[in-house]
Amino acid sequence: MAAEVSQQHPRRDAIALALVALAFLLRVVYIFEQRANPFFELPLLDSLYHFEWAQSLAAGEPYQEGPFFRAPLYPWLLGSEMRILGFGFLGMRLFQAGLGALTTWLTYLLGRRAFGRGAGRLAALLVACNWVLVYFDGELLIPTLAIPLNLLALYLTLGLGQRPAPRALVLAGMAWGLAALARPNVLLLLPCLFFWLVWGEPHKRLLGVRRGLLLALGVLLPILPITSYNLLVGGDRVLISSQAGVNLWIGNNPASDGSTAIVPGTRPGWWDGFHDAIALAEAAEGRSLAPSEVSAHYGRKTLDFWFEEPRAALELFVWKLRLFSSRFELGNNQDVRFFSRRYSRVMDWLPPSWLLLLPLGGVGLMLALRRRRELFPLWGFVPVYGASVVLFFVCSRFRAPLLPVLAILGAEALVQGWRALKARRFGNFGLGLGLAVLLGLLVAPIPERIDRTDAKGLWQLGMYELEQGQANEALPWLYQSVEANPRFWIARRDLGLALRDTAQARAAQDQWSAALALQPGDLQISALFVELSVALDEVPRALAVARECVRLHPDLALPQATLGQALLAAGDPDGARTALRVGLASSPDDYLCNLRLGLLEREMKNPCAAVEPLARARSSPSAPSEEARAEVHTLWREARQACR
């Protein structure tokens, strides 16, 4: 079989090219359908982060100080499209449809190299029509670039054969290096590939080591310029990006649900959470921290959790395995199922994704073990990459890179099953079918703790209206979200915002009270509840919520700012001043604590004492907008003039 595969040439396969065209067509149709999606030109969270980074690159402006927090290759691609080709949202997404077609072609090539033309074609069909891959090729997220890079690296690595040339080893390594610049967790496979090369020459260990070192050299060639930039320009020792420790803690802490990407004790917005995570780390360490030190801090917290609460850590790991194996697609930015189908008819015609590919791929992996040394890069990618997802936290876009590899393995399972039937090897066929059915039974159930309603998607439609300043239009969506899942506290939070903005203060207060019962001490809801309760002259309720928030989050500045507001309303300016200074002790540049302290001193006729906190608020990185900075600048100038 190996000899047969190696003699086949990948060119001029009309069926494979037709499948590539099909993949492109499906993605183009889907993207044009999605133009009705309100978020088509208003990306959220990570998509917005990538887009804003790309905008800065296209304009020739810096985006974020210090070393890279996230691997830069995908935003660089978007920025290049904007700057060179002038792409807008539609153009960028159509370009990614081309990347999806490339993914289909690379799947065919890799499947052909591993198992032959038939398996390659079938794998390409499974990838072309995979609805999850179609979805992500229409989103401004990393999988659309990371997946073809992974496939290219696997193709080049699988082609190393028994006597790989030095150039081939370096090229394969460079492909892995580029893949790591899109998603660094693929680096976990590299030690395995090194030993695969070493043990590939059982009587020539030194030769195997040399080959492994050449592969490693190739990996470093694309990465070292990024590392040098992080050191020389960013001023910190970071290999590619500094988010690993934070992400590890997100998925391995006592409050983690294994999927939600929020650091405990931080606000939900992307930048709010980013700054809060840094503030928490610096408060715990008692000093300013470089990005690598922030990552190391959260890495140590993760280790402490594993060693101090091993039972809880193990239960969480098992739960993440369940999430990883479940057929349900857990959205991280959007509800994948809701938005992919609400605005697209083509999705209704596409087959299941994980429910189909994991059972078939599992059978194919067992078959691949018959050539385990030769095919290690292919089948080894599945457990190693899967472990890297479960090690952190689980969501649809993190496990999406496994889909083409599972499609290749699953295609081989189907090919071998057909051959077994033709040859009347019913025992072999029955064994494979039984294993596929068993895996399907494991994948099919959706854990009860997963919210399978449309609550998240309905909430996001309501949020779209809120961000457009249309609170009245937001209310029906948010009410539907709460009705679909009464325990969805985030929808209650934003329903409260819509009610407040439509002058329904008591109803807003009720929603925030219910949300706090579901999510005690939430920073944003506590601050909103206290502000509204003070306005309604219900200061005791405001004080109770503020003090509970401080109790639960003693190291954060925002709870102290909230308590300061409540204490000032209660007629205790000295207590308010103390609370605000406690908050500034943990986060000296916090916008809200500085602003409220400056306003307090101004109100108490101490303009000289107001100058410094107002100056810090004016330059705070957590200031909500340039307009807010301008207003604080005016207050600061007035305080400085009054102090003379």
Task: Please give the radius of gyration of the chain, using alpha carbons only, rounded to the nearest integer.
Answer: 27
On whether the CB atoms of residues 403 and 353 are closer than 8 A, the answer is yes
Q: What is the pLDDT of residues 593-643, one digit of tens each?
A: 888 888 888 888 888 888 888 888 888 877 777 788 888 888 888 888 887
Count of Cβ atoms closer than 10 Å to residue 625 Cβ: 8
Q: Which residues of the chain have pLDDT under 50?
A: 1-8, 10
| pLDDT value, residue 588 | 85
| pLDDT value, residue 9 | 52
Q: Which amino acid is at 182?
A: A
On whether the CB atoms of residues 160 and 360 are closer than 8 A, the answer is no
Within 370-484, strands assigned E span none
Q: What is the pLDDT of residues 418-440, one digit of tens each?
A: 888 888 888 888 888 888 899 88
For 603, the enclosing helix (H) or strand (E) is: helix 591-603
| pLDDT value, residue 301 | 93
Chain centroid to Cα 235, Å, comes to 25
| Closest listed residue to residue 57, CA positions, set 39, 73, 41, 40 | 73
| pLDDT value, residue 202 | 64
Own/partner long-range contacts of 303-308 (Cβ < 8 Å, ≥24 apart) = 305/252, 305/253, 305/254, 306/252
Q: Looking at domain 455-588, which of 3.40.50.620, 2.60.40.1180, 1.20.1260.10, 1.25.40.10 is its CATH number? A: 1.25.40.10
Look-up: residue for tokens 């020792």?
A: 237
Q: Where do the structural domains in the chain lie, given as residue ranges?
A: 2-239+328-443, 244-289+298-325, 455-588, 589-644
Q: How far apart are CA 250 and CA 247, in angstroms?
A: 5
Taking the model in full, what pTM does it have?
Answer: 0.88
Burial 575-585 (b: 16+ CB within 10 A, else e): ebbebbebbbe
On whether the CB atoms of residues 139 and 42 are closer than 8 A, the answer is no
Q: How far apart are CA 335 and CA 333, in angstroms?
A: 7
| pLDDT value, residue 492 | 95
Q: How far apart are CA 586 and CA 580, in angstroms?
A: 10
Q: What phi, psi does 264 have (nearest 5°)?
A: -55, 135
Q: How far apart are CA 385 and CA 94, in angstroms?
A: 28
| pLDDT value, residue 201 | 66
Crossing angle of helices 489-501 and 523-535, rounded to 10°: 30
Question: DSSP letters along 305-340, please?
Answer: HHHHSHHHHHHHHHHHHHHHHSSS---SSS-HHHHH
Kindly give, in sequence order, each residue whose CB lies less than 8 Å from that of residue 191, ignoring residues fewer than 6 positions away: none
| pLDDT value, residue 280 | 83
Mean pLDDT, rounded, of the chain: 89
Q: Write down the number of H helices and E strands in the chain.
A: 32, 0
Quick one: DSSP state of residue 84? I
On whether the CB atoms of residues 233 and 282 are closer than 8 A, the answer is no
Look-up: residue for tokens 């590919």?
A: 357
Sign of CA dihedral 438, 441, 447, 453: positive
Q: Which amino acid is at 372?
A: R
Q: Which amino acid is at 591?
A: Y
Q: Which amino acid is at 134?
A: V
Within 67-223, strands assigned E span none
| pLDDT value, residue 232 | 92
